[in-house]
Structure 1
Amino acid sequence: MKLHTEKQKNDEIKKHSKIKHTSARARITNQINQFWSRHRNADENWYTYLFFAVLRFVLVFIPQLGYVHPDEFFQSVEVIAGDHFQLEHTRTWEFNNTLPVRSITLPFLLLRVPWSFYEFIATVLQNATHIKLLHSYIYLVFPRLIMCCLSFINDWSLYHVCRLYGLRCEIRLLALGSSWVMLVFGTRTFSNTIEMMLCSLLLALVADSMITTNTIVYKKEYLEERYINAVSIGEKVRIWKLKTTLPTHNYKYMLLLSTICVVGVFNRPTFLLFGAPMVFYWLLRGMGTKTITFTDFNLRILLFCVSALPTILVFIFFDSIYYKYLTAGELQIFDIGINNFVFTPWNFIKYNLDPSKTAEHGLHPKYTHLLVNTPLLYNVLGIIALISFAHTMIRFFKAEYQGLPRAQSIVGLMLGAIFVPLFFLLLINHQEARFLIPLTFPIVLLHATKLLTGFCITYPFKEEHWILRQFYNRVLCTQASAKYLLKTWYIFNIALTVFFGFIHQAGVFPLAQHFEHAMQFKPSGEHLHLITSHMYDMPLSFVNIPSSRTLLFDRNTGRRYRRSKDFYLYEYGSLNLEKLLRKIKLSLSNCEFKRNSKQINYRLFLAIPTSLSDDFAYVVDKSNSSYLHFELQRIFYPHLSTEAFPSIFGRHICDVDPPEWSQDDLKGTCSIEPEPSLSFDYVTHQFSSFIHQFGLALYEIKLKSRSPLNVYKRGTITRSSK
């Protein structure tokens, strides 16, 4: 009996050891599988990021014809290209010499200096190959290429911080690279884009300084403690030598940080809001320890301000020369006073502090940035960021301080970089989405991993309730939310890239290219007049016309002269169509007067969205303008003006001509067809009509001939028979 019992015990021991061995092997196998799965996913994320990085360059050269906002051109490219190449261009009110609110120094360095090198190369190649390398395509693409190269400052900054703090960089870089903010805004010549790059670089340097200070302060305090406890003189000497070899950290990157801040403020004074929390964290490093005191804090402030002075003086000097507050003659005789200098950031702030002036650019509700622009720019990551911050504030007000991030941690820095500027921007009554793109870096760093892990890895609620449990299981947990978060991120970013990159106001640049070609091949002495409505302003520099304001010198006669102006642009925004027709009649009468009195031939054009063709034809018909003839020259597809959104039940672009003419008179025109009953043909026709409304129509306006065959009862809109 005893032997039987011992045998049973031995069998049980063998069985348990086998099970234990099997479970250990399974655990090791599982860990290995997880390791390889994680690395395989990491490699996939790296390859996907590289794809989007290459795509960022490809979208520059295609190029993106979408037109996000007029400031993309009129605050940089239009002025710099116009000045450098002496082209006809539009100088907006921001560059008015009376009260300039935009610094020219940074655009000069980023655009005009590279333009000089490119112009030299283009001139040499043109002389050798007779190929013209200065035209509208280059004026559009070359500045974007510069901005695209600079946009990788954001990528480097994110990678640098991730490596410093041991964070997963591949998913964060993937989220950054696939964001439509980088694919669209990152390659555009907005001052906000430069602001985003400077904020990202500033964050990376501050984060670097924080971890350096924390490491050195810890080592210093540890060595001081060992020095106090040391017994022998030799040990104290050795510890003292180790302390003296510790690198300095109090003023790390000080000159570079102060320079970045000055450049950011002169680029766009709202950088004060974005940079303030970052600089504060740089000043706060190590506070609360034995080695860092308020003396260090105050000394950092003083030296930071002093190191910023040289850059401030450089910007003020070059801006004052450009806006002619300071001249070469005054410098030679040293007749210089305080009125010879201009401080553009102060002019910018003073202008925007006046609510009546900001109201001229559009008024928005105070919650626009919070509830509209943040989700628009960052979709699921923006919503997660807002929810996470709300959860943090709830913990703060409940005095649950253990669950809050440490004040001097990287999480605290990123939260301050997001919500301090966001709070102050909410107080401004003019709120556009592009104002928030400097928040891209901290939002991606904090929340990009949730695209793979879902909203919550663990149960986030204190109370255990079946409703909360079901909400967590079905929506918040990793298995439930990780399935759709990354897909949602891709879908929204691709859609917004296509919309703002290739559809929104996308006919404006092709229109400028069309007139660049027309100006090159028009008869000498003929004037071209273009009227636009319900579309963004067209940059005149893309038409590539020599400036009529530049004073030229004729070597044969020895006289100075200016080139006569032969292209006129009249932009009427979203003017009522009836008023637009009156403007057209006025322009036509002026052109006819010059033709009869000065023998100046002309051609008059109108550019409007095709979605307004039907309405405009009705206005022309109702006004009984029997002497006007609108001939459709071309339609630029795609083009969408949100001021004239296509109508589902609108008529086709070819369906806007009067129906009562004879067949001989309909050459080159499209007649109205009776609206059929509901059928497949009707549905397809309406769908075709809707699609054709996504275009920009260019009409040539003529006076009708007085011959009997061409005298009709009313004005017409026809298609060109060419």
Structure 2
Amino acid sequence: MFNWRNTYLFSIAVRFFLALTNSYIHPDEHFQNFEVLTSSILNYTTSIPWEFTSENPARSMGPLYLIYGPILYLIRITGSTFTPLQIWYIMRLQFLVLTWIFTDFLVYRMLPTRPERIKGIFFISTSYVTLTYQQHCFSNSIETILVLLAVYLVDEMRFFTNEHRRTLVSSYFVLGSVVALGIFNRITFPAFLILPSVFVFNHLRYSNHKLKAISMGCLGFLIPSISFIVLDSIYFGHENTGMSILQDPFGDFSKYIITPWNSLKYNSSTQNLAKHGIHPYYTHLLVNFPQMVGPTGLMFLFYKGNKYLRATPFLSLVSGLIFLSTVPHQELRFLIPLVPLACCCFDLEKFQPVIVEKNGTSKKTSSMLVSALMFLWYVFNIILSILMGVLHQGGVIPVLDHFHTSPSLLTNDGTSAQIWWRTYSPPNWILGNKDNTLSIVISTSEAPIPVDLDGKRSQLLIDTMGSDFDYVQGLAKDLQVLGVSKIYLITPVASYLTTVSEPEKYRNVWNYTLHLDLDHLDFGNLKSLTPGIGVYEIL
């Protein structure tokens, strides 16, 4: 029978399915965690991004070790033989469980009535953002859970009663810890709490335990903050930094590395943001947010009479949307925390007509508008779940795993090379290279880097991004001149069909069908719509 409960149970099965698919939404889901941690914990050969290698590191290791560290260290200590792909699946399942438990619990506790709770959890669990983005290993996914927890704590303070005063004092410690973890995870975290923080100050104003509450909040903030600062200072500092801190913690404050401060300074520069893309200030409001909530966004247009306008989740939603829009670099995933907040504020009742019965009682009934809206919600989220949860760059990880599990592709008494073209940057950690025989190079037609052979390294991985194909061909010829035994071109099947004019010079080694490249579509050429990614040996 089709009802909300059965739909919710079905969505759980869909969550598990999509958690074990291979879609690849954004490079940060690999390069801001696994590329860093698998290098230091599992000794994989990886490509560590600039946030962790610059003189002023902009990403903290604290949240990474807290979220990913336990599983990776357990694998290391037990000597488990999990492949990188299996490790990735385990982490994705961890995100699934954390999201499921925290989201449902917090929404259930925060919303006042049973129908409200059912509605909120239903929309959250059937949203493609929950089913896809939230289960990928983004710092934004962690931020979503922390934002919900913080909003729940603020909401508790907002509607306190006299008998709750003492118990709420301990909530300040938890709130302080959540804010600290949120800031060290992503510097954008406070944006979601600027407007709701009014209720915290209001609670303090009427509290009989002001000093104790403030002290507990500061203590909760300082304990994780100091821990993360010390950890980052040791990790990013010189070899003797740890001993120096232990011997004289207050001697030289310049040895301490505060990654959120470095991130704030970096992102305050428009010149720096231009390297990652500058967007109009309205992008979040008019492009990204509508893409996330789909047809239900129409409910926010009819704001008059909306009973949620003063609700804590709605104020947090508005706060995040406003203050994140002041930064000119605006990516859709930055708004992931807004989705569960929005789902708590969908007001269906205002679209339901009131029927007055003969005995004078009145009740609201479902309307055609609500039915149409629900139908569009299902269609929207089914399509986007398939697109972003299965097809989007879905072959990159399987290709890397194929190279990992097929050593014959990589060695032939000489050097082998992988040339990646028109794909997202391949996450090198999936190759699971531990013997330091892998050399990783980014070389494009816009920023060409000469490729040379290192006698100690028999494998080359070259990411050419979206370079001209002539440049890719020239690079392959240079490798042949250098004596590379096997050269593979890894590219979407669509790009191969629409670009390669001499297919006799390529031998198809392996294909993966569930891959879609959305960056090079040409609707005037149907071949560009061909799904799949191929591994082609250059003859």
Which shows bigger deviation, 334-343 or 509-518? 334-343
CA contact (8 A) 1:527 1:567 kept: yes
Q: 515, 533, 539: which one pairs with 1:639?
A: 515
| 1:473-493 superposed Cα distances (whole Å, 9 cap, x missing partner) | xxxx95221121111111111
Work out the CA distance in 2 between the residues paired with 1:282 and 1:436: 24
- Mapping of residues 357-376 of structure 1, within 5 Å: 357-376=272-291
CA displacement at 1:383 relative to structure 2: 3.1
CA contact (8 A) 1:81 1:139 kept: no
Do residues 444 (structure 1) and 343 (structure 2) align? Answer: yes
Change (3 A) 1:457 1:432: farther
Equivalent residue for 1:337? 252
| Structure with the bigger percentage of helix | 1
Change (3 A) 1:332 1:266: closer
Larger Rg: 1
Do residues 517 (structure 1) and 405 (structure 2) align? Answer: yes
Whichever residue aligns with residue 218 of structure 2, its letter is C
- Mapping of residues 213-252 of structure 1, within 5 Å: 213=160, 215-216=161-162, 248=166, 251-252=169-170
Equivalent residue for 1:192? 140
TM-score by length of 2: 0.87
Which has the higher relative contact order, 1 or 2, with Cα contacts under 8 A spaced 6 or more apart?
A: 2
| 1:576-635 superposed Cα distances (whole Å, 9 cap, x missing partner) | 22222222223332x32xxxxxxxx621111122222244224x69xxxxxx92222222
- Mapping of residues 426-505 of structure 1, within 5 Å: 426-447=325-346, 450=348, 453=349, 455=351, 457=353, 478-505=366-393
Work out the CA distance in 1 between the residues paired with 2:104 and 2:79: 31
Q: 395, 410, 425: which one pairs with 1:507?
A: 395
Do residues 548 (structure 1) and 423 (structure 2) align? Answer: no
- Mapping of residues 505-654 of structure 1, within 5 Å: 505-519=393-407, 523=411, 525-548=413-436, 564-589=456-481, 591-592=482-483, 602-618=485-501, 629-645=505-521, 647=523, 649-650=525-526
Work out the CA distance in 2 between the residues paired with 1:700 and 1:154: 47
CA displacement at 1:205 relative to structure 2: 1.9
Unaligned runs of 5+ in 1: 1-39, 124-132, 218-245, 392-402, 460-476, 551-561, 593-600, 622-627, 652-689, 703-722
Work out the CA distance in 2 between the residues paired with 1:273 and 1:99: 23
| 1:543-579 superposed Cα distances (whole Å, 9 cap, x missing partner) | 11115299xxxxxxxxxxx993222111111112222
CA displacement at 1:252 relative to structure 2: 4.2
Whichever residue aligns with residue 140 of structure 2, its letter is N
What's the % identity of the aligned pairs?
A: 24
Do residues 316 (structure 1) and 229 (structure 2) align? Answer: yes
Change (3 A) 1:430 1:547: farther
Change (3 A) 1:442 1:647: closer
| 1:670-718 superposed Cα distances (whole Å, 9 cap, x missing partner) | xxxxxxxxxxxxxxxxxxxx66x2111221113xxxxxxxxxxxxxxxx
Change (3 A) 1:247 1:376: closer
Equivalent residue for 1:22? none
Work out the CA distance in 2 between the residues paired with 1:614 and 1:346: 48
CA displacement at 1:456 relative to structure 2: 5.1
CA displacement at 1:414 relative to structure 2: 2.3
| 1:65-88 superposed Cα distances (whole Å, 9 cap, x missing partner) | 111100011111221122211111
Work out the CA distance in 2 between the residues paired with 1:250 and 1:602: 67
Work out the CA distance in 2 between the residues paired with 1:189 and 1:65: 12
| 1:477-510 superposed Cα distances (whole Å, 9 cap, x missing partner) | 9522112111111111111110011111111011
- Mapping of residues 383-422 of structure 1, within 5 Å: 383-385=298-300, 387-389=301-303, 391=304, 411-422=310-321
- Mapping of residues 95-110 of structure 1, within 5 Å: 95-110=52-67
Work out the CA distance in 1 between the residues paired with 2:370 and 2:336: 25
SS at match of 1:633: strand
CA displacement at 1:525 relative to structure 2: 4.3
SS at match of 1:253: helix
Whichever residue aligns with residue 380 of structure 2, its letter is F
Change (3 A) 1:602 1:334: farther
SS at match of 2:327: coil
Q: 84, 87, 105: which one pairs with 2:41?
A: 84
Work out the CA distance in 1 between the residues paired with 2:354 and 2:203: 32
Change (3 A) 1:284 1:520: farther
Work out the CA distance in 2 between the residues paired with 1:258 and 1:286: 14
Change (3 A) 1:147 1:563: farther
CA contact (8 A) 2:410 2:459 kept: no
Q: How many residues align?
A: 513
CA contact (8 A) 1:183 1:497 kept: yes
RMSD over aligned Cα, in angstroms? 3.0
Work out the CA distance in 2 between the residues paired with 1:181 and 1:159: 19
